[in-house]
Amino acid sequence: MDAYGSDFATLDLNFDSEEPVQCIFCNEQFSITEDEQPFLKHLLMVHKFVIGEVEEIADLRQYVSYWGKLQYVDLKDYCIIFNTNTEPGAKFPTETYYLLCSKLPEDKEIRSALSKLKLKYVLKMKEREMQDNTFSRQCIYCSETITGGVAKCFQHLTFSHGFSVGKPDDIVFGARLLDIMHDKLRKLQCLFCEYTFKTHVVLRVHMRKKQHRCLNPKNKMYDKFYLLNYLKPGTPWEQAKHDRTFESDLESLHEEERGQGLGDPLWTDWQEDHVPPTTCLFCDFTTSKVPGGLFNHMAAYHKFDFENVTKGFTFYEQVKVINCIRHFMGDCLCFLCPLKFSSREALLKHMIEANHCHLPPSSVWDHSQYLIPVLENDGLLYHLEDTEISDSSFSDDGKAILPEDVVLFNDSILEDNKLREEITGANDADAIAMCLFCPYSAIGEYPHTMIYNHMRVLHCFDFIEVVSGQPFYNQVKLINYIRWRTARSECYFCGQVFDNMISMEEHRVLEGHNVLPESHMFEDSKWLQPVFEGDILLQKLREAGDSDEDTTDNPQASSVENVFSEDVHIPPSILNDKKLRQELLENMANHVVQFD
């Protein structure tokens, strides 16, 4: 502090303090942490005093403390003076105002000093935050607990939920930012448009369909969480982030593109509104310049030219490649060698050193399971071009006909069991699986996988994790138990009864009732009897150690019979009671429209 002079000795330099400040000229106090406007209005209306370029002051509280000396001196010696209503014949009397701004040498000096001191403090906090590997907290979107530091929490949001707030290295006070985001979601408030919704389910659907998986760029509250804002005080985080993205994208251009004439407009001069930010297949780099900026980044930094390696691929083959790479990177597995790493950083270092950042053989990625998005709302998938669109895909007026979300109807012809059996037959490729918590159903070669993903994303219920370690018959019991409870609008975890399934789901998600219930609630052998005939989720269950190849269709499968420790006696069907069966089916049918 000695380097700044004796006037700085009055400052406490506690940049983390939220204590109110006292007016420079009177004893009235104001809280300026969240909103400084009441304080500035007071200075103007009561004391005829104006502080210029307030947004460029690194810490207004310290700034006001420094200028507290003005109440003891002649303002003419320190401020710019201007008078109003000085023209001849003015209707109002002349008033004298005093202005502090960066044009004054001393004011410029205090602003510069506070900017440097605040930046030093913030960098110290960022360094401490990066070194703290003990930090852990539950994800604001799902029930998973993230460990290993604040950066891991933001990486999980990006790679698991498609929610990007920027690179973790650019964020400071991350724990506080996560708390703010979590609090807004608990209040059923969208983080982007900041509208409030009636239920948790409606909010999640809104954010998913509207691509509102980022922060509100117009909310100045988020400025303090971005390091770039401390490098350029007064620059809103939205603009600072845009500048950083622009610079990163320029660095990602090929060398020959950098040599082009400056007179020609580059693709980086254009930015489409509401383009969701998309993350690189290999690292945390995120940009709204999709696909150009993202492809250039991967080519320049990872030697992976997506456009060339997938040239000639169909739309669905490109989707498989993207989801396959994201799957392996998410599990910290190299897709060209059978090595697993403790972190994504270690994996990326290995892939660069071993030159493994290129397309794996088709035997690795060409599987239908990779048609299911690994990253929810993956912006890269939205920008893929389908080279196989035929003329039949367009209407008479030339507009493309695109599929919308399928809506379930009560009067579906597939409600006829005989007709459904005639259509689907015994082919697993046409099997239909249904969610445990809503009427959503999936059909295809791996319908159970689609249901697992649906429940994890929309219902915060990770089925694989919940049943992990449970014996085969316990898994059967749990599925039938949950289906029974859901059909009666009852929480499977605590048994609380609700008027409808939506209220029940809102309660279950908000209360964290998405884990294994007490065993006594579902251990009764009556839950071995399927609630739904031909339940695909039951058919796809595996005993520990089993694999998908262990079927009767595979003559090479092990012929050793599984031996279970408990004697199982299948009771009479719990749905033999026609009246009870009809009650359940009607209850489920009544809620279809609500979920749609």
The DSSP string of 362-405 is HHHH-SGGGGS-SSTT-HHHHT---TT--GGGB-TTS-B----P
Burial class (CB in 10 A: 0-12, 13-18, 19+), 191: buried
Of 200, 209, 155, the C-alpha closest to 460 is 200
Q: What is the pLDDT of residue 481?
A: 92
Q: Is the pLDDT of residue 425 over 50?
A: no
Average predicted confidence (pLDDT) for the chain: 75
> What angle do helix axes 200-209 and 447-458 make, rounded to 10 degrees?
110
Q: Is the pLDDT of residue 544 over 50?
A: no
Of 30, 48, 137, the C-alpha closest to 99 is 48
Question: Higher-confidence residue: 426 or 100?
Answer: 100
Q: How confident is the model at residue 560 (pLDDT cuts 50, 70, 90)?
A: very low
Beta-bridge partner residues of 136: 147
> Which of 76-90, 257-271, 411-425 has the weakest average pLDDT?
257-271
- Count of C-beta atoms within a 10 Å radius of residue 205: 15
Q: Which residues contact 150 (CB under 8 A, 6 or more apart)?
A: 129, 132, 135, 168, 171, 174, 175, 178
Q: What is the pLDDT of residue 167?
A: 79
Beta-bridge partner residues of 84: 95
Question: Higher-confidence residue: 580 or 63?
Answer: 63
SS3 313: coil
Question: Higher-confidence residue: 318 or 552?
Answer: 318
Q: How confident is the model at residue 409 (pLDDT cuts 50, 70, 90)?
A: very low
Q: Which residues contact 40 (CB under 8 A, 6 or more apart)?
A: 51, 54
Q: How confident is the model at residue 493 (pLDDT cuts 50, 70, 90)?
A: very high
d(CA 217, CA 239): 9
Q: What is the pLDDT of residue 39?
A: 92
Q: How confident is the model at residue 8 (pLDDT cuts 50, 70, 90)?
A: low
Q: What is the pLDDT of residue 294?
A: 83
> What angle do helix axes 315-330 and 150-161 make, rounded to 10 degrees?
160
pTM over 0.75: no
C-alpha distances out from residue 175 to 91, 148, 226, 235, Å? 55, 13, 13, 23
* Per-residue pLDDT reduced to its tens digit, 284-321: 787 777 777 788 888 888 888 888 888 888 888 888 88
The domain locations on the chain are: 2-123, 136-255+278-382, 430-548+565-595
Q: Is the pLDDT of residue 492 over 90?
A: yes
Q: Is the pLDDT of residue 42 over 90?
A: yes
Q: What is the pLDDT of residue 431?
A: 62
> Which of 121-135, 425-439, 447-461 has the weakest average pLDDT?
425-439
d(CA 70, CA 102): 16
d(CA 489, CA 361): 48
Of 282, 253, 257, the C-alpha closest to 358 is 282
Looking at residue 512, its amino acid is G
Q: How confident is the model at residue 377 (pLDDT cuts 50, 70, 90)?
A: low
Q: Which residues contact 582 (CB under 8 A, 6 or more apart)?
A: none
Q: CA 542, 548, 551: angle at the middle one, nearest 5?
A: 90
